[in-house]
Amino acid sequence: MRIIFVLICAFASLNLYAQDLDTNPLETDTVPDLKIKMPKEKKTVKEAKPKKNVFYGKKTRKTFIKNGSITEVFHYLTVNEQPNKYIEEIYSYNPSKKRIYMSNYQKLDMDDNKILHGPYKKMRDNKVIEEGFFYIGVKHGRWEKFGNDVLDRDFIMTEKVKYNRGFLKDSKVQYYDEQRKKLKEVIPIKDGKEDGVYYLYHPNGNLAIKGSYQNGIKVGLWVEYHTNGKRKKEITYSKNWYDKNAEPPQIREYDENGRIIQN
């Protein structure tokens, strides 16, 4: 009987231990809530898409003209703005005549013509022969020309010129005022030498001297002007800088009324 009693007690103890396991599971049986906050994903800011046909904040209209094998694709301002009056080469488009014109400020037709502004591309038989960018009628940024080389192979770049709103990018530009509104002098610089059109202005804004450089040497016609805009002196140099047999410069002078006083 004693043995039976001991077995019954042992069985009861095992039963109570099993119940305790069911009601009090081990800590490792559960996943603790650590309350860790996961970092929020950063919202990516969508970049604003560039507005179509808007360059430097100015609205333009895109068009093209075709003449035989030549096609020109370009933009012009929907509302004309005044180009820099000191730039000699200002480009505009006449919609009725379907033609691009190049002129100085005095001869610019602002009534019938539209000022070019934006990308420009000129092609021959679908091959690009010239491309660049206009800023309010004047060349800006890098301009490139393409053509066949001497061996008549495929098109290659034949010329690359950088502009800064009408002037050669490396030109030395001086002004009479701190606000840089009254232009005094423009010395064209290309590849470290004077190359291109030189300008000097009177304080009243009228042109004082205009001429051209090639490879650091004066070439062609140089003209000096009186303050009233009349010609003062003409000096004619050789057409090319490398012409070693060039004659001495020819000089012609005028009075303030335009009459020749020396020839």
Q: What is the pLDDT of residues 38-49, one digit of tens each?
A: 566 666 666 667
Res 90 pLDDT > 90? yes
Give the N- to C-terminal CA distance of the chain in Å, as an integer.
156
CB burial of 183-194 (b: ≥16 within 10 Å; e: otherwise) equals bebbbbbbeeeb
pLDDT of the residue at 181:
83
Range among 50-54, 120-124, 153-157, 203-207 with highest mean pLDDT value: 120-124
Categorise residue 152: left if φ over 0, alpha if ψ from -120 to 50, beta otherwise. left
How far is residue 67's CA from residue 123's CA, in Å, rounded to a whole number? 11
Kindly report the pTM of this predicted structure. Answer: 0.70
Q: What is the pLDDT of residues 171-216, one digit of tens each?
A: 999 999 888 888 999 999 988 899 999 999 999 989 999 999 999 9
Domains and CATH numbers, the chain: 52-169 (no CATH), 170-263 (3.90.930.1)
Contact between 210 and 218 under an 8 Å Cβ cutoff? The reply is no
